[in-house]
Amino acid sequence: MIATVFAMPVSTTHSIIGGMIGFGLVSGGVRVVYWSNLGKIVLSWIISLVVGGLLSFIVFKVIVLTILHLPSPLKAAKKVAPVLIGFTFFFISFLFSLKTLKKPYNIFLLTGLVFFVVAFVLSYLLL
């Protein structure tokens, strides 16, 4: 409610977890909440913030070093952007497949590689 009052963004995952904890506390007390599982969930929230920040920093530094600090940033962007777009498609497809499908890793890597190549070629031709 505090986030809503101050017009801050609210994650549905946080809301659902908070609602389940609140319902559990009201209906059964402190002992019905699996605190170790809650600790794992909260830890994953903290880890995802740190990893997201670290990856953002790395991508920013790559862009600065390979595009922004060169004499012709537009030419550099046309060379570097397809690679970055390809890696983005690779990671999204690989991690989505890994999380949702129950198949061997090599299939996920192959799927990611296909997405990388398609995204790289399309973005290279369009830029």
Residue 2: per-residue pLDDT? 73
The pLDDT of 76-90, averaged and rounded, is: 95
CA distance 1 to 4: 5
Q: How confident is the model at residue 59 (pLDDT cuts 50, 70, 90)?
A: very high
Instruction: Look at the block and give the residue holding tokens 């609210």.
Output: 10
Instruction: Average the pLDDT over 28-33 and give the result.
Output: 90
User: Which tens digits make up the pLDDT trace of 34-54?
Assistant: 999 989 988 988 999 999 999
- Which amino acid is present at 88? T
pLDDT exceeds 70 at position 1 = no
Provide the 3-class DSSP secondary structure of residue 1.
coil
Per-residue pLDDT reduced to its tens digit, 8-25: 777 788 888 888 999 999
At residue 103, the pLDDT reads: 80
Determine what percent of the chain is predicted with pLDDT higher than 70: 97
pLDDT at res. 11: 78
Query: If pLDDT is split at 50, 70 and 90, which confidence band does 113 have?
Result: very high
Please tell me whether the overall predicted TM-score, pTM, comes out greater than 0.85 for this model: no
In a 13 Å sphere around the CA of 81, the CA atoms on its Cβ side amount to 13
